[in-house]
Amino acid sequence: MKPDRLEDLGRIRELMERLLSDYDQLEACCWSKHNQELFVEIYAEEDRRYGLHNQLRFLFERLNEIMYIAKGDLYE
């Protein structure tokens, strides 16, 4: 494996760890079927939904960055 690809893997790992820690709070209250009512209650306010929207947009952007790194030289 090329050294630059090893660096890419390290960068991907770093980005993934950061994303997972940033979204721990979201996972804790949102993804369990038992917590659907809590999710609705938390995001009933428009400001909180706006914040959730921004979090999800940021998540999508970071995942795209990770995919770009993962593709590497294959698509240049």
Domain limits at 31? 3-75
Count of the separate structural domains present in the chain:
1
Q: Is the pLDDT of residue 74 over 80?
A: no
Q: Is the pLDDT of residue 41 over 60?
A: yes
Crossing angle of helices 3-22 and 46-71, in 10° steps, is: 170
C-alpha span between 20 and 74 (Å, rounded): 27
C-alpha span between 31 and 67 (Å, rounded): 24
Query: Mean pLDDT across the stretch 28-47?
Result: 77
Tokens, residue 67: 């995919």
69 or 35: which carries more pLDDT confidence? 69
pLDDT of residue 66: 92
Does the reported pTM lie above 0.85? no
Q: Is 39 exposed, middle or buried (0-12, 13-18, 19+ CB in 10 A)?
A: middle
Tokens, residue 10: 């390290």
